[in-house]
Structure 1
Amino acid sequence: MNIKHLKSFVIVAKNGSISKAAALTNYSLSAVHDHLKALENELNVKLYERTTYGILLTEKGRQFLPYAESILNTYDEAMEEFDVTKQSLRLSASETGDFLIMKSLINRYIKKYPNVDVEYTKSTTDISIEKLTLERCDLSVICEPSFTTSKAKCSYLCDLPLVFVASPKHPSVIHGLKAARPFNTLLSTMALPVIDDLLKTAGLCYSDFFSATRNIGDLYTIKDLACSGQGIAILPETLVGEDLDSGKLKRIPELNHYFASKIFILTPLSHTAISAPVRNFIDLAYEFLNPKKISQKEKSKK
């Protein structure tokens, strides 16, 4: 039996969803479906059924589940006992984290540690935490204005300055933010409660300035919409620097406060020591993005 097929089956069984299993295993939907089909062909039984409530195991599927779990446990024990696993690092990051830091960090990491097999996917914060909980991911980088969780270890990495920008032709730039309120749609990757809390840090109220929010998961799309005059965007300052310099976008004067999201590193809650690949990635992240914290750590050791 194929280990990947068994893993897909167990995760589908526990989550009741092929799409959820695909997200947690980093396989495609078609790959997970093929894994299940291969197992059914090998066992010559039907293991699951699709229902309006999701995936449900058949009686044969429920009978097979403990065997599949036992095989996977034995496989993991054998790999650990004989130390045949190649060093690997499974990473995930949110949309903002992916665009702003992960590509550069991973390139630096691979260059420094070429013998580590790096696996990387983009995930929402919720999916990242679930992957960490299920030990399907070693480290995740997320970007939130504030964040706490009891499901993973969470370490602050650095601030990510944010700016409110719009096209020079947008009514808020021409007539002022409050006067243009009926036309002010806020474009953001963040949910409204998060935006509201962010504005409150500067003593501001969302409803005083905006009439609607459009939640979009892609930073480039948000920037393009802002440039075309379709709203006011809240974006990382590093993403719009050239557009501000060229005059393609303008800061909103009334919102010219220091706003920042925070970048956090998440690792699994575990009593075992962090592996060398994970520790090396964390050290590299601080060296690259928060060198002051590294120097403070070094001073504390002396």
Structure 2
Amino acid sequence: MEIQLKDSNTSDAASLAVHKSPVVEFLERFFRSNSAVIGLVLLLILVAAALFAPVFAPYDPYESNMPNALTAPNSAHLMGTDELGRDIFSRILYGARISLVVGVQAVSLALICGVVLGAVAGYYGGKVDTVIMGFMDVMLSFPSILLAIAFMTVLGRGIDKAVIAIGIVSIPQYARIVRSSVLSVKENVYVTAARAIGNGDGRLIFVHILPNVLAPIIVRATIGISDAILEAAALGFLGLGVAPPTAEWGTMLGSGRQTIFNAPHIVTFPGLAITMTVMAFNLLGDGLRDVLDPRLK
């Protein structure tokens, strides 16, 4: 009798060990991924810097001090000053807010539009698919930065305009991913069963199909934020992004290129901030891709 109880307890423990909740399994796999953890740590540092910029910034990022213009990094100014004597470290902290907001909002806009268009095209197929994806292919035939420049020329400068421009040019990437994912799962048994019991097209798409194709969308959105930040910086560098004197990394690079040889710190530190941010999102996206890939379980 004791042996049977022991065997029963052992089998129950083994069963509990095997049947872990999806959340616990995801967290275990996530924290085993070095790239995901490093990306998350870097991202948390950036978010903290953006949220607590007024606390960490030693100076007003918009206060000019011409006698201290182009000062090299020192104990008073950790990253030196720009051509107007403004503290670069303070401006980089405040610039993190602009870059993260533009990146997240632009990807959110592209994600919403791309998911809807891709899901409709993949689910209905036929002429609907041809028209939607044909338009997406036309957009993809142009470099995204050129399309963003065209939209910014029409819309004008500003954070909200940059979000709209970058979001629109990013829609085709998400539409194609969602369309291919929907095509691969829309004929599965659970979708056929849901259709047989009377579910409408809208419920089939957004309740039964899209939740099962989230993994590639999440990975692409994470990496897409880094792309959006790079495009926002490129627009700022070209003078088409956020209007001065707003502290934005691309604008800081653009205004400092004239003094790059006698004061290289003006472009070095904003460039490093952009590099660190892009690397954080790319590492996190690569890690999520490995964690969410069922073939690697």
Kindly name which structure, 1 or 2, has the bigger radius of gyration based on alpha carbons.
2
Larger strand fraction of residues: 1
| Shared fold per TM-score greater than 0.5 | no
Report the TM-score, using the length of structure 2 for normalisation: 0.21
Report the TM-score, using the length of structure 1 for normalisation: 0.21
